[in-house]
Amino acid sequence: MTELHLDMLPPAQRDILPRLAGALSESGMYLAGGTALALYCGHRLSVDFDWFTEHLGNPETLLQRLRDTGLHYTLLSQGRETIYLEIDAVQVSCIGYAYPLLEPAHAFPELSLSMASLDDILCMKLSAVTNRGARKDFVDLHHAVTHLRPLSHYLHAYTQKFNNRDIGHVIRSLVYFADADTEPDVVMTDPISWSTIKHDFETWVRELSADILSTHSGAESMLNQRGRPAP
């Protein structure tokens, strides 16, 4: 069984995680986002808990589960398929997320915890970068591509998770750093400079684009040799 890097959480987060996980897992929720990735990989500190389920349902049912565990929360905001809370100064989000998991959530019974798979988490990180690339999202993706699987693997998984084969906007977003440039450095266990992270993404995207063009050119060449199909 995977050993989680609980040392990536500050004491307050470590303290509430088992009770919070127990209450939310009973509602079919799974942990994802940067904290889940940090628990898997141990690459950076993380403080927020982001929980997901296919359909949030009645918010009061979920809030009652939290009250039943003795967790005292402050309701920060509530909307359609979203609840944002603060528990012992820890930010907690509960989100209805319609996109299905690529594989079943991983169970950690000792913590009453369900967590999304690495591929699911990294697909969600790619989606986050397309909306607004926070520096922590680039850090997380950089760690995954450097230590786990190539960028092409996660892009392919993205097309499966979101049923969208057009990844041009995703690739462009991976080299757009204007928003992330204004943010502070992320606390990593093995620090890497922001300039290095940006350079690596530019290299990966350039190589990926060259591969795509090469594949496209190869297909064009075959069509020219064999003759194009009749319209």
So what's the pLDDT on residue 214?
A: 63
Backbone angles phi, psi at 36, to 5 degrees: -60, -45
Give 220's pLDDT tier (boundaries 50, 70, 90): very low
| Total structural domains within the chain | 2
Mean pLDDT of 182-192: 97
Is pLDDT above 50 for 198?
Answer: yes
Say which range, 31-45, 63-77, 142-156, has the weakest mean pLDDT: 63-77
Mean per-residue pLDDT over the chain, rounded: 91
The percent of residues above 90 in pLDDT, for the chain, comes to 80
In this structure, the answer to whether residues 105 and 184 fall within a common structural domain is: no
Mean pLDDT of 58-85: 92
Mean pLDDT of 16-22: 95
Mean pLDDT of 14-30: 93
In this structure, the answer to whether residues 11 and 112 fall within a common structural domain is: yes
Mean pLDDT of 71-78: 94
So what's the pLDDT on residue 132?
A: 87
Is pLDDT above 60 for 231?
Answer: no
So what's the pLDDT on residue 219?
A: 36
Mean pLDDT of 75-88: 95
In this structure, the answer to whether residues 212 and 124 fall within a common structural domain is: yes
As given in the structure block, the two tokens for residue 51 are 């929980």
The whole-model pTM stands at: 0.90
β partners of residue 74: 86
Task: Give the CATH number, domain containing residue 57.
Answer: 3.10.450.620
Task: Residue 46: name the closest of 143, 157, 120 by CA.
Answer: 143
Contact criterion met (CB below 8 Å) for 105 and 24: no
Q: What is the DSSP string of 115-158?
A: E--HHHHHHHHHHHHHH---HHHHHHHHHHHHHTS-HHHHHHHH
Backbone angles phi, psi at 43, to 5 degrees: -95, -20
In this structure, the answer to whether residues 206 and 135 fall within a common structural domain is: yes
Which residue type is seen at 187?
V
| 1 falls within a domain | no
| 231 falls within a domain | no
Give the domain range for residue 202: 120-226
Give 210's pLDDT tier (boundaries 50, 70, 90): confident
Q: Rounded to an integer, what distance in angstroms lies between the CA atom of residue 88 and that of residue 158?
A: 35
In this structure, the answer to whether residues 178 and 212 fall within a common structural domain is: yes
Q: Rounded to an integer, what distance in angstroms lies between the CA atom of residue 39 and that of residue 58?
A: 29
Q: Rounded to an integer, what distance in angstroms lies between the CA atom of residue 165 and that of residue 160?
A: 8
Residues 6+ positions from 105 with CB-CB distance below 8 Å: 30, 114, 115, 116, 117
So what's the pLDDT on residue 215?
A: 59
Task: Residue 207: name the closest of 159, 165, 152, 162 by CA.
Answer: 152
Give 114's pLDDT tier (boundaries 50, 70, 90): very high
Domain boundary among 64, 96, 116: 116
Is pLDDT above 70 for 1?
Answer: no
Domain boundary among 116, 139, 162: 116
Backbone angles phi, psi at 58, to 5 degrees: -75, 115
User: Helix or strand or coil: residue 37?
Assistant: helix
C-alpha triplet 223, 225, 229: angle, nearest 5°: 40
CA dihedral 148, 204, 157, 179 (to 10 degrees): 100
